[in-house]
Structure 1
Amino acid sequence: MLTNGKKLVLEQIITTIASIADAAQDHFAAFYNELMPPLKYIFENSKGDNCKMLRGRTIECISLIGLAVGKDLFGADADQIMQFLLTSGVNFEANDDPQISYFISAWARICKVLGPGFAKYLDLIMPSVLLAADFKPEVTIVDGEGDEEDNEEWNYLPIGANRSLGIRTAGLEDKVTACEMIVCFARELKEGFAPYAERVMGMMIQLLRFVFHEGVRQAAAECLPFLLISSRVFGEPHLRHSWETVFNAYKDANKKENENEVICEILNGIAECVEQFGETSIITAQDIEQIYELVLFRLEYLTKRRIEREADRKDDEDIDDEDEQESLNEVFESESNMLARLADINHYLFMTKKEANVPFFDKMAIHFASLLDPRRPYQDRQWAICIFDDLIEFGGHSSLQYQHLFLQPLVNALSEKHAEVRQAAAYGCGIMALKGGQAYEKHCTQLMQPLIISIERSDARSTEENSAATENSISAIAKILKYNSAGLNVHEFVPRFISWLPVWNDHEEVPYVYDYFCDLVESQHPALQGDPSRIFQIILHTFSHGAFDGDASELLENTKARMKSIMKHIQMNEQLFNQILTSLHLNSHQNAVLQQILT
């Protein structure tokens, strides 16, 4: 097709193959051996300036296929493809070559496939990537009114009366792509990226202030935690100095940034750093104080925006309700994302510092509690409950001093119409039972009825979100009955608990539900004794829905083994087992799952 001049058709075919590979993922392996050789041939033999786009799309297709099928299949071709790229003769100083972004993106995908094995190529590709990332756009000041708007090569920003700042766009998107790819290299290679960590860190800190493109600032904020991880190999003194440099850059950027998406990435970067280094001495008490000051700064920013928004709505009576609501929903989503990142920071501080974090949290408690106000958007209440969930989970008995702030709002949230709020509240109830001990015994007793009402709502399983909330409530009751039931007649609640099974959606809560279920079966609880068919069905349906396919934890693996053991025990009574099979009329999938359970 190249020789016949049908280049555009070939580009379209290759783009289609790339889209299919991206969607099919590992299912595309069946076509790999048939398609990879001609794609390599096209890339190697499409010469000349008129084939630049074809080469770009071909390497995009090759790298997407590699990402789809994985290292085992793609690894044999990866080195040859990298050599193609490295000897292509592309001039990375040219800001108008369409191949540049395709090549850099392909390197990132190949890095994801090869993992640490990609490190051997860094010295060959990083000069080109750094060159693209360090690109400085051409800018100019334009006075008066003109026809600038019609010039597609320039973007113009008003900077005053009859004045505009012009930014030439050529090379700018390649800069964004290069920054995003550096993020990928640092994330995937970890210590393997160490030789470039210090230089790139300096560049990314500078790019946090790159005013011409928020995508560059986002990539810079995202990259810094991975560069700190890469720097571990240089020892603690170097790492401590690097953290101080990064944290100061984050603090400065947080004060000046106005774009919500970039703010979220800055906050996420801080959360990542706390997750990675919070258990070490790298992050000091003074750092924690300043982190919470930063969190408070953004909480006050969100509150100020909400107050201004409400004032604007009162002043403007002509706003169309439907249009206004759509716009408000976008604002709520953006601000909810920011609040989620603030909650993440709090989560990792508690997860790494445990009860030692409570004194730092104390100054923030009243501010977080204000988010529980029922007049606030439901997203505010959701994340506020998550914040207090972390206090309960990791704060030990110190959390009791704040119960006047969170307990009643948490109970009220169990009847919320928004499933996300119910789920957060139900999780907190379970944590009270699991971690609260005798101090929370009275509260656990009082939580049973609200939890039951939450589980038995008419819409309890109507959506995926509702199912997640419902299963968290079921898990909370399992935790109360197993760990904190001194104030209850447990036997009164067991038949109801059994009636809610099976559950399978929430992989984190499934082990707690079935750990208690196995306790009941193994202790021959009257609610299950004499009903092996019911036990059989619960276990089979649970496995059939992939309930134990989540990330393996010790509790999950132990519970899974107990469930299989119970099934095998039922199988030992051959007559009973065959009667159950005859009555249930299992389909082919269920039969296959049953064989997996029993073998």
Structure 2
Amino acid sequence: MAAAAAEQQQFYLLLGNLLSPDNVVRKQAEETYENIPGRSKITFLLQAIRNTTAAEEARQMAAVLLRRLLSSAFDEVYPALPSDVQTAIKSELLMIIQMETQSSMRKKICDIAAELARNLIDEDGNNQWPEGSSSESPVCSPAMLWVKWLQILHPGFQKKFHEKVIAALLQTMEDQGNQRVQAHAAAALINFTEDCPKSLLIPYLDNLVKHLHSIMVLKLQELIQKGTKLVLEQVVTSIASVADTAEEKFVPYYDLFMPSLKHIVENAVQKELRLLRGKTIECISLIGLAVGKEKFMQDASDVMQLLLKTQTDFNDMEDDDPQISYMISAWARMCKILGKEFQQYLPVVMGPLMKTASIKPEVALLDTQDMENMSDDDGWEFVNLGDQQSFGIKTAGLEEKSTACQMLVCYAKELKEGFVEYTEQVVKLMVPLLKFYFHDGVRVAAAESMPLLLECARVRGPEYLTQMWHFMCDALIKAIGTEPDSDVLSEIMHSFAKCIEVMGDGCLNNEHFEELGGILKAKLEEHFKNQELRQVKRQDEDYDEQVEESLQDEDDNDVYILTKVSDILHSIFSSYKEKVLPWFEQLLPLIVNLICPQRPWPDRQWGLCIFDDIVEHCSPASFKYAEYFISPMLQYVCDNSPEVRQAAAYGLGVMAQFGGDNYRPFCTDALPLLVRVIQAPEAKTKENVNATENCISAVGKIMKFKPDCVNVEEVLPHWLSWLPLHEDKEEAVQTFSYLCDLIESNHPIVLGPNNTNLPKIFSIIAEGEMHEAIKHEDPCAKRLANVVRQVQTSGGLWTECIAQLSPEQQAAIQELLNSA
């Protein structure tokens, strides 16, 4: 007995040393810990966790180590234990959860139980620890974590286990004897439905809704009688989550819930019910979004009044009032539902929203001693700056700030010119936030807002618009040069490109161009350097699958940035045309490098896209660069990668459409290559269809714009047999308008002798309509409808054409006539 106690004492000492700031002491402790056998480790760790008289740090450390052991070495350690020891460990864990009083420690122990529960579910979803997840058991506390873990580890989790899980969670939610267990089951249901595909949820919808409604009614009565609210809070969120996933399928249940939810918002006004009220506001707005404007309009005005009433008390709310963030998100959803009708509420909504979006975080520079005195519970996060110094930031309010900024983006997007009154104050807030390095979401929202704010401001005329653009332009370019996070960087680059498209020719001055040129050059050089570094790492002795996975992630990030370089160049070429070519020449060698045969396919794809833009927007001046791209473009039309084929085919199409006479011989060379791709056996498979459709479109453009380069009479019948295009909507419009040209000019080959080809043309038009290849507002749709109407007037021919169509095709023709 004494020996065991002494060993345990040694173990406490070891835990203390694992936390030591002294590197030597800590390293020795880590080595000693690693050498302890697995069974002894589990015993010592459990005893340390259970011992409430031990130092808090040691208990926390023991909990972290035990969870790590179960997650990383479960298969080596646990199955080798005798079954009675396994049983003892499970019982011990359940007991500790019940006894633990300290909340952060209790959560850590729940995490351990969840980890064990996760490992004890076999491939078929059979639970080998049923008492650990029964509704009587306190380990239902980790139910939510357990569901989340399974979702992460089994991507097909919902598909495999949905029936069992939904049944178990609903049963547990009805355990009236235990509020906490009910609440956890409801929370687990939220986790489950959030990621559950709609198709899987629908069969259970009736049953789910019935249970949720009866529990809500029961808990509402409990709230009135006893003031208990924990389960009701979770149930309200479960309802919101189910509605969010079910979307329009929730319409039949709308009237079942809305009166009770409105009742809660109206009456739950006490301070302790703020969270419940916030969650109910969220639930109402999510249900509104799910069922759509038509169904929601019966309550929209009531709900707006309730929100407005809450809003009026907003100024009296404390900064940490949980209703604030729920209100802000609910307003944005109401804006999506009501559209332009929401504009009238802006004066009420914008004040608190701007206040929240303007939160300034508390920051401090501290020495290590001060930092240790400030506990994590105070909501501070620290970055070690070396030399015994740390930079601290109080994270409270940062999420709310980010949400508020996202909501401003939402208003600008939904309301457009209706938001113009607020563009000035919002742009003054957002531009400095491009440098708000405390929160990525805030910087993303700031970037996203820029082109949208310009769209809103356009209604005030060019002078106002230009002033606003001048206010944001420098900051955007600088942010592209300095942003450290690649996800945020891609958003900033994308927004900058959109801004140039809004502003057009003349929006950048010489200094802007100079700075931008330097930045884009650096991005492309970095792209090539990173590729080389990854190749070096692949030769390293530590190289394995895991390393390859992270190299792939880096590669994906780099390619994504490359797509944004292409976006920016696209917007510059389309705005400035050939005037910008002298500036572009500093980047030319790098773009030529992208399309070298040895480069990976995304490099070649995006390099070609940049040359496509030059041909499309700078022709015929583009021909001076033809020596760099013509030969690769012709070669890559038959490339193994469909993405590269598509970029090359598009380039050959615009070469015919916009290129001058110098491009004629290459149009002749291109035709047989394009036909080869179109007629390949796999041409119409999912991965190939977009490239193939671009080839078909390019053949059409060569016949239309450079007819003397090919034998149109010979090619036309083939081209007609390849129509219509379904996938690439832009190219579909190009091909249909050429088809209209040919029909309207009564082209004999297209119409056939005595109009015998008309039924075939009708089926092409019908198929295009069925695949929504052309929007009804597009002028081309009107031209197609006119072709049909002309035939309609000649009785016999019309009957013959319609007779050869399937019922679906006939319906599509009718739809076209009705709407275009």
User: Fold conserved (TM > 0.5)?
Assistant: yes
SS in 2 for 1:155: strand
CA distance in 1, matches of 2:241, 2:529: 44
CA contact (8 A) 1:567 1:597 kept: no
SS at match of 1:166: strand
Q: Does 1:62 align with 2:279?
A: no
- Picking from 342, 356, 365, the partner of 1:118 is 342
Tell me the amino acid that sits aligned with residue 624 of structure 2. Answer: Q
Equivalent residue runs for 1:461-480 within 5 Å:
461-463=684-686, 465-480=687-702
Deviation digits for residues 226-284 of structure 1 (CA, Å, limit 9, x no counterpart)? 334444566655543432231221233233211011211221222122111114x5444
- Whether the aligned pair in 2 keeps the contact of 1:495 and 1:527 (CA below 8 Å) is no
Q: In the alignment, does 2:325 pair up with 1:97?
A: no
In structure 1, give the amino acid aligned to 2:526. Answer: Y
- Counterpart of 1:267 in structure 2 is 493
Deviates more, 1:178-187 or 1:288-297: 288-297
1:108 equivalent to 2:326? Answer: no
2:731 aligned with 1:509, yes or no? Answer: yes
Q: Report the AA paired with residue 270 of structure 2.
A: G
Contact persistence 1:532–1:570 (CA under 8 A) = no
Q: What does residue 353 of structure 1 align with? A: 576
Alignment partners' CA distance in 2, 1:278 and 1:469: 30
CA contact (8 A) 2:725 2:731 kept: no
Separation in 2, partners of 1:71, 1:99? 24
Aligned residue among 157, 165, 177 for 2:391: 165
Question: Which residues of 2 match residues 19-30 of structure 1 at below 5 A?
Answer: 19-23=241-245, 25=247
Partner residue in 2 for 1:596:
815
Distance 2:461 2:816 in 1: 48
Which residue number in structure 1 is paired with residue 429 of structure 2?
Answer: 203
CA shift in 2, pair 1:22/1:403, >3 Å = farther
- Counterpart position of 1:292: 517
| Contact kept in structure 2, 1:92 and 1:100, CA below 8 Å | no
Deviation, structure 1 residue 174: 0.7
* Matches of 2:358 and 2:691, distance apart in 1: 47
Structure 1 portions without partners, runs of 5+: none
Aligned to 2:659: 436
Distance 1:595 1:551 in 2: 13
**1:572-591 mapped onto 2 (5 Å cutoff):** 572-573=796-797, 576-577=800-801, 580=804, 586=806, 589-591=808-810
Q: 1:406: how far off?
A: 1.6
Q: CA deviation at 1:183?
A: 1.8
AA at the equivalent of 1:153: G
Contact 1:42-1:58 within 8 A present in 2 as well: yes
Give the aligned partner of residue 41 of structure 1: 263
| 8 Å contact from structure 1 (residues 429, 444) kept in 2 | yes
| 1:4 equivalent in structure 2 | 222
Q: Return closer, same or farther for 1:520/1:276 CA change in 2, 3 Å cut-off.
A: closer
1:156 is paired with a residue of what secondary structure? strand
Higher RCO (C-alpha under 8 Å, 6+ residues apart): 1
Structure 2: runs of 5 or more not aligned: 1-216
Structure 2 CA distance for aligned equivalents of residues 506 and 382 of structure 1: 17
Q: Which letter maps to 1:62?
A: I
Output aligned runs, 1:141-160, within 5 Å.
Answer: 141=366, 143=368, 153-160=379-386
Tell me how large the CA RMSD over aligned residues is: 3.3
Larger Cα Rg: Structure 1 or Structure 2?
A: 2
Of 139-148 and 200-209, the range deviating more from structure 2: 139-148
Matched, 1:382 2:609: no
| Preserved CA contact (<8 Å) 2:288 2:337 | yes
Does the CA-based 8 Å contact 1:142-1:164 persist in structure 2? yes
Rounded Cα–Cα distance in structure 1 between residues aligned with 2:258 and 2:301: 14
Aligned residue number for residue 441 of structure 2: 215
1:549-588 counterparts in 2 under 5 A?
A: 550=775, 552-562=777-787, 564-565=788-789, 568=792, 572-573=796-797, 576-577=800-801, 580=804, 586=806
* Matches of 2:659 and 2:692, distance apart in 1: 22
Aligned-pair distance for 1:155? 3.0
Residue type matched to 2:635 in 1? N
Contact 1:148/1:156 (<8 A) preserved: no
- Evaluate the alpha carbon distance shift between residue 489 and residue 229 of structure 1 in structure 2; reply closer, same or farther with a 3 A threshold: closer
1:494 aligned residue: 716
Q: 2:785 touches 2:816 (CA, 8 Å); kept in 1?
A: no
1:418 is aligned with what amino acid? S
Contact map agreement 1:92 1:132 (CA 8 A) in 2: no
SS in 2 for 1:416: coil
Name the residue aligned to 1:411.
634
Q: Which SS does the other structure have where 2:381 is aligned?
A: strand
Is 2:470 the partner of 1:244?
Answer: yes
Say if 1:430 and 1:475, in contact at 8 Å, map to a contact too: yes
Which residue of the other structure, out of 330, 343, 351, is the alignment partner of 2:566? Answer: 343
Paired residue type of 1:128? P
Structure 2: how far apart are the matches of 1:207 and 1:302? 27
Change (3 A) 1:335 1:197: same
Retained in 1: the 8 A contact 2:726–2:732? yes
CA deviations on 1:313-335 (whole Å, 9 max, x unpaired) are 44x22121x32332233223222
CA distance in 1, matches of 2:799, 2:488: 65
Call closer, same or farther: CA 1:524–1:236 in 2, change over 3 Å. closer
How far 1:424 moved relative to its partner? 1.8
Alignment check: 8 A CA contact 2:500 2:507 kept: no
Decide which moves more: 147-156 or 403-412: 147-156
Change (3 A) 1:448 1:69: same
1:469-525 Cα deviation digits (max 9, x unpaired): 111111111111222121212222233223323321221111222334455564231
Aligned residues: 588
AA at the equivalent of 2:575 = T
How far has the Cα of 1:162 moved from its partner?
Answer: 5.3
**CA–CA distance in structure 2, aligned partners of residues 27 and 435 of structure 1:** 49
Give the Cα–Cα distance (whole angstroms) in 2 for the partners of residues 24 and 335 of structure 1.
37
- Bigger mean CA offset, 361-370 vs 255-264: 361-370
In the other structure, the counterpart of 1:129 is 353
In the TM superposition, what whole-angstrom CA distance separates every residue of 1:51-88 from its partner, at most 9, and x where no partner exists? 33332232223223333455555456444323322322
Identity percentage over the alignment? 39
**Does 1:325 pair with 2:548?**
yes
| 1:459 is aligned to 2:685 | no
SS in 1 for 2:521: helix
State whether residues 696 and 722 of structure 2, in contact with CA within 8 Å, keep that contact through their aligned partners in structure 1: yes
CA distance in 2, matches of 1:277, 1:474: 34
2:645 aligned residue (405, 419, 422) = 422
Residue matched to 2:302: 80
Q: Which amino acid counterpart does residue 395 of structure 1 have in structure 2? A: C
- Give, in whole Å, the separation in 1 of the partners of 2:475 and 2:249: 44
SS of residue in 1 equivalent to 2:221:
coil
Q: Is the 8 A contact 1:518 1:559 kept in 2?
A: yes
Equivalent positions of 1:395-406 (< 5 A) are 395-406=618-629
d(CA) in 1 for partners of 2:577 and 2:295? 44
What is the match of residue 371 of structure 1? 594
Change (3 A) 1:42 1:249: same
1:307 alignment counterpart: 532
